[in-house]
A and B are shown apart, each in its own frame.
Chain A
């Protein structure tokens, strides 16, 4: 029972980060019908920027409680600029190209970003500075620490804020309109290029926060961390129904839980043949199962063919 509770907690924390990243995939897909495979790399760069700026700020004697929000802000700004540039340079010229072209470009961008990060930050692991005491709390035998609580609560707050933004504001209305019909939205005076740019920047800001959360949780960041994370978050988005915001949140949390419970029990269930190092396999089982049995995802409508 304690193991079960512990895995639920771990799963929810990990899942809330997947959800934030999955939102970035799903927002871009909803508006452009494009799978931005470079998104995982943006998460990685967000983590790197956060660690670098945090280390630098602490180095000049900034108090931790000031350095933390400052570095989150810097990472978000950096990633927003990055997301904007990627769309501007790599995707916008291909807006009307066959859909395979932007997809391959996205993979290309991902490789470029990975290598750039390797050149800037090197191949070694970077450790996230210890800022808060990070006391463990005991809930019914399961352990949850301060960082995990902060991650979970912050992620939920950000998701709630995003839902409000999309459903209650002029900008959100424009985003939904562009997602449904670009021509009609333009004729209503919506500048679609602007809306698309803003969408990329919002997704990238979420990615930056997610990158910071992950590196804070594991205490580490690495130039290659975005690849697997990106694939898993993409799986989460597909699981929930790509293009659907609620789906991305649900898919993220579910995938976190599946992974964590799977890793917790696979040892016992397979009689010790497989260990928890097989954790990563579950995400891809889920991806395959969803694609075979419910390609539109849990909350997705009938998958519309998008030009």
Chain B
């Protein structure tokens, strides 16, 4: 494989649902140890893209390479083993399992004991189980969950549940951690500590892919950002550039079509509300 320089490389990914084209011709690449942001209006196809690269959906067109291997149709547990872990927009913890057990499940992919191990409960199985428990406790500490490890997941606070989801994803020893709106519903303090956590995770060598609506978080955290609209990639680059990109502003605020096709002083023409400073017409509150 040629593209080992990139951790993840999407080539012309398309996804159709019946007649609806949720993604079309999306190509992008994510480098090792990068924090990569994916933004776009509601329904732009961000979560669909996540579902494709984590194997929940099979792409209708294109393929992607991860860590030097090509994938087109692949089961989620295989991609988990390859090193892609994710969290969900709406928290999907195992509510009736304890916090510790939730993280232990994440170790499933890196452990072996099967039916016979479970039935015989031999030494290897016991040692493996002990190692899983220990690692799970470390991860709970790492993401900052201070409640007892035996607390049922459903009894954790909202912010803690989000962190627990991250701990569970980290337990799979991922190369790429894909987070679907991790800051959704968080207050400013929680968001700030989430930002610190994500930076720590990146510094530990894990690449982070992030869908987020909190533009402040995206701008302050991401190395590069891609923007999706109607299933197409309309912009990509460092946050500051993307933020000022006319196509992006149009996608978020709904511009006159000619405003950006004519290339005619887009920022100035994008002031539907008289009296506002055109400099403020950037995407910052979506």
Contacts and interface: CB of A to CB of B under 8 A. Distances in A.
A173 B95 contact: no
A174 B94 contact: no
Contacts of B56: 183, 186-187
Nearest to B173: A189
A189 B109 contact: yes
Contacts of A183: 56, 76, 92
A265 B85 CA distance: 61
Interface in B162-221: 168-169, 171-172
Contacts of B104: 170, 173
Given A170-B108, A186-B75, A191-B77, A176 B118 contact: no
B20 interface: no
A173 B172 CA distance: 15
A147 B54 CA distance: 54
Contact of A184 (B88, B101, B110): B88
B106 A188 contact: yes
B77 A177 contact: no
A170 B86 contact: no
A165 B113 CA distance: 13
Contacts of A171: 113-115, 117-118
A111 interface: no
A186 B80 contact: yes
A167 to B, nearest CB: 9
A190 interface: yes
B115 A188 contact: no
Interface of B: 54-56, 75-77, 80-81, 85-86, 88, 92-97, 101, 104-106, 108-111, 113-115, 117-119, 121, 125, 128-129, 132, 168-169, 171-172
Given A169-B129, A189-B106, 7 more contacts: A170-B128, A170-B129, A171-B117, A184-B88, A185-B105, A189-B77, A189-B109
Interface of A: 165, 169-174, 176-177, 180-181, 183-192, 198
Q: What are the 10 closest A-B residue pairs judged by CB atoms, nearest first?
A: A189-B109, A186-B76, A189-B80, A171-B118, A169-B118, A184-B92, A180-B94, A189-B77, A177-B105, A188-B105
